[in-house]
């Protein structure tokens, strides 16, 4: 049950079709792909999910990674979220997974789904990595891969004429006891250690008072950009992304278009001087050592995190796995929980069970006694207040 197996040459989650239920199996290396879509009669939301099962890993003391993936289309005109999970031999033993959150159309997301892992695979095969394999080497390699993909994507978008799409990306690579996260945008990666959630990413947004946001705001200003109502040039609320060529190679055209539309004056436009890209595809890259307490990793777009925080998400998935052990069902249930909280955005989630936890024997989470007491006291106070008010009305 792992994508770390040497027998599995390559597995790429291809684009979801519109069939209600499709099962694909390979007798030699059993891989089950289940695709599902909610009927329009029962809900306005579209759901696609893929369950993955593969032979056990040959790595000692590691049961292997089990994957769950689901995506839901919210109240949007187009499904712009995507994900990919890959384990080819060409990735030097790395398992690769990524969540993409698109905007302005789905072109950039589709490009990244097909090309980003290939670029990472090519970069990780480099001679320098084979001889060094230090974190700084891997960090430099991934940076180079992201830069190359963005350059290729930008040229492709320019050829398409009028395509101003872009996409964020949150990538995880796992090998042995090391987890690497490469992230740009506002999706997020969360690690569960013995039930405690560790948020591994910072949102790249041009607003807010946290350290990451202030750094983004300063970078944009130094590049000659400006921010209106938390949006770069009054337009986009993301400061790092692939694509978005109007903030990179097409800044002059963007300004000219703004003058024509009356968004700013010719005098204002004449004073502008750009010193760099306003939106960049430079990822934050971190390394995490996975000990025996590392249970699972969650990758998800902001359609989840805007409605369910990291601690709640980890607790939810752990409880699901404790009950039935099915990573795919746990992933789907988490997405549906976000819908129950009225999430209107598209949602894309990957759950990676790291294979270190015996979920059936996992004890139930301890209840916070003081929290429960406070909740009970608050309820009692409300009831008492209601009775008191009712008595006053009677009098």
Q: What are 266-280's pLDDT values in tens digits?
A: 999 999 999 999 999
Q: How far is CA 328 from the centre of its chain?
A: 17
| CATH for the stretch 21-204+281-361 | 3.60.40.10
pLDDT confidence of residue 378:
63
Q: What are the residue ranges spanned by the domains of the chain?
A: 21-204+281-361, 212-239+245-270
pLDDT confidence of residue 389:
66
pLDDT confidence of residue 375:
54
Per-position DSSP letters for 41-57, written without gaps between them: TT-S-EEEEEE---PPP
Sign for the CA dihedral angle at 71, 314, 242, 115 comes to: negative
The per-residue pLDDT for range 162-221, each reduced to its tens digit, is 889 999 999 999 988 899 999 999 999 999 999 999 999 999 999 999 999 999 999 999
Parts of the chain with a pLDDT under 70: 1-63, 74-75, 88-92, 126-133, 365-383, 386-395
Global pTM value: 0.76
pLDDT confidence of residue 122:
85
Nearest to 291, CA basis, from 176, 121, 157 = 176
The two tokens of residue 275 are: 């010193």
The answer to whether 128 and 136 are in contact (CB under 8 A) is no
Residues 6+ apart with CB under 8 A from 207: 213, 217, 227, 230, 231, 237
The answer to whether 354 and 295 are in contact (CB under 8 A) is yes
Per-position DSSP letters for 196-223, written without gaps between them: EEEE------S--SSHHHHHHHHHHHHT
DSSP single-letter state for residue 240: B
For residues 241 and 153, what is the distance between their CA atoms, to the nearest angstrom?
11
Give the C-alpha distances (Å, rounded to integers) separating 115 from 87, 212, 246, 280.
14, 28, 22, 18
The answer to whether 4 and 57 are in contact (CB under 8 A) is yes
pLDDT confidence of residue 251:
92
Report strand pairing: 196-199 vs 347-353.
unpaired
The answer to whether 186 and 236 are in contact (CB under 8 A) is no
């Amino acid at each position: 049950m792992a994508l770390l197996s040497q027998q599995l040459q390559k597995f790429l989650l291809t684009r979801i079709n519109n069939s209600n239920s499709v099962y694909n199996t390979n007798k030699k290396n059993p891989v089950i792909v289940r695709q599902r879509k909610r009927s329009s009669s029962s809900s306005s939301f579209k759901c696609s999910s893929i369950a993955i099962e593969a032979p056990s890993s040959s790595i000692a003391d590691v049961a292997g990674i089990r994957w769950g993936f689901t995506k839901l289309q919210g109240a949007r005109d187009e499904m712009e979220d995507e994900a990919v999970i890959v384990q080819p031999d060409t990735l030097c033993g790395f398992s690769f997974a990524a969540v993409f959150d698109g905007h302005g159309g789905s072109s950039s997301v589709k490009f990244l789904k097909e090309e980003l892992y290939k670029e990472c695979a090519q970069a990780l095969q480099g001679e320098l990595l084979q001889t060094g394999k230090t974190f700084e080497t891997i960090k430099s390699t991934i940076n180079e891969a992201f830069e190359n993909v963005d350059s290729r994507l930008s040229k492709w978008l320019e050829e398409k004429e009028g395509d101003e799409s872009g996409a964020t990306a949150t990538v995880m690579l796992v090998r042995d006891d090391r987890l690497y996260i490469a992230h740009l945008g506002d999706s997020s990666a969360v690690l569960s250690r013995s039930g405690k959630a560790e948020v591994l990413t910072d949102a790249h947004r041009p607003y807010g008072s946290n350290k990451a946001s202030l750094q983004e705001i300063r970078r944009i200003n130094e590049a000659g950009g400006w921010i209106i109502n938390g949006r770069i040039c009054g337009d986009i609320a993301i400061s790092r992304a692939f694509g978005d060529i109007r903030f990179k190679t097409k800044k002059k055209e963007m300004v000219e278009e703004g003058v024509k539309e009356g968004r700013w004056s010719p005098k204002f436009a004449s004073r502008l001087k750009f010193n760099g890209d306003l939106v960049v595809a430079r990822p934050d890259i971190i390394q995490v050592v996975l000990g025996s307490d590392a249970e699972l990793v969650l990758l998800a777009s902001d359609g989840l995190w805007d409605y369910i925080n990291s601690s709640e998400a980890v607790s939810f998935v752990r409880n699901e796995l404790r009950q039935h052990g099915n990573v795919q069902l746990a992933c789907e249930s988490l997405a549906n929980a976000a819908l129950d909280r009225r999430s209107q955005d598209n949602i894309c989630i990957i759950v990676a069970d790291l294979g270190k936890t015996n979920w059936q024997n996992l004890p139930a989470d301890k209840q916070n006694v003081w929290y429960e007491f406070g909740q009970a006291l608050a309820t009692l106070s409300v009831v008492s207040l209601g009775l008191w008010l009712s008595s006053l009305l009677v009098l």
